[in-house]
Amino acid sequence: MTRPDARGFALEQFLVFLQKSPFNMLLFGLALASGAMLLWPLISRPFRVSHEVGAIEAVQLINRRDALVLDVRDTGDYAAGHIASAKHVPEAQLAERLKEIEKHRMRPIIVSCRIGSRAPSVSAMLRKKGFAEAFALRGGIAAWQQANLPLEKS
């Protein structure tokens, strides 16, 4: 008498369980999808070039290399609180006001927005325009505040 393979038997039982109800199949599909979404940032990180800096890295760039902080938020958000000596150029006006930033081409530029959603695209645009060291502030001003770093009000 031959004994069935335990793994094969368990797999067969699992497949029978999934086939009993469409709801079981849906739950299994959701579990696979959520697991993939959780693992995706870990898997993709080594393959992408990061042009983002955290709040502490930004402070180091400002202090050690005289980085320019470019705040692309709206005027009201900027007036409510911004990083010390940040240059305010709203994202909508960036194309027209690029000449104001031109003199800072050789310095690192840290682009900040409210939560870090707009800064990566602005920093990518600046890199395309020849600003080699344009970085997005990861998490934006919200991450800056969460790190208990000071803001100026104007």
pLDDT at 1: 44
Contacts of 133 (CB under 8 A, 6+ apart): 107, 108, 109
Q: Alpha-carbon dihedral of residues 35, 36, 42, 44, nearest 10 degrees?
A: 180
Distance of CA 22 to the CA centre of its chain: 37
Residue pair 74/35 in contact by the 8 Å Cβ criterion: no
Residue pair 80/58 in contact by the 8 Å Cβ criterion: no
Mean pLDDT in residue range 74-93: 95
Residue pair 88/75 in contact by the 8 Å Cβ criterion: yes
Rounded Cα–Cα distance for residues 17 and 29 (Å)? 14
Average pLDDT, the chain: 90
Given CATH 3.40.50.620, say whether it is the number of domain 52-146. Answer: no
Active site residues: 113
Rounded Cα–Cα distance for residues 61 and 110 (Å)? 9
* Per-residue model confidence as pLDDT tens digits over 64-82: 999 999 999 999 999 999 9
Contacts of 141 (CB under 8 A, 6+ apart): 71, 73, 77, 81, 82, 83, 112, 113, 114, 115, 151
Domain boundary assignment for the chain: 6-47, 52-146
The tokens for 107 are 């310095």
* Per-residue model confidence as pLDDT tens digits over 4-42: 577 778 888 888 888 888 898 888 999 999 999 999 888
Q: State yes or no: pLDDT of 2 exceeds 70.
A: no
pLDDT at 20: 87
Structure-token match 């080699």, residue found: 132
pLDDT at 110: 97
Residue pair 70/107 in contact by the 8 Å Cβ criterion: no
pLDDT at 14: 87
Rounded Cα–Cα distance for residues 140 and 27 (Å)? 36
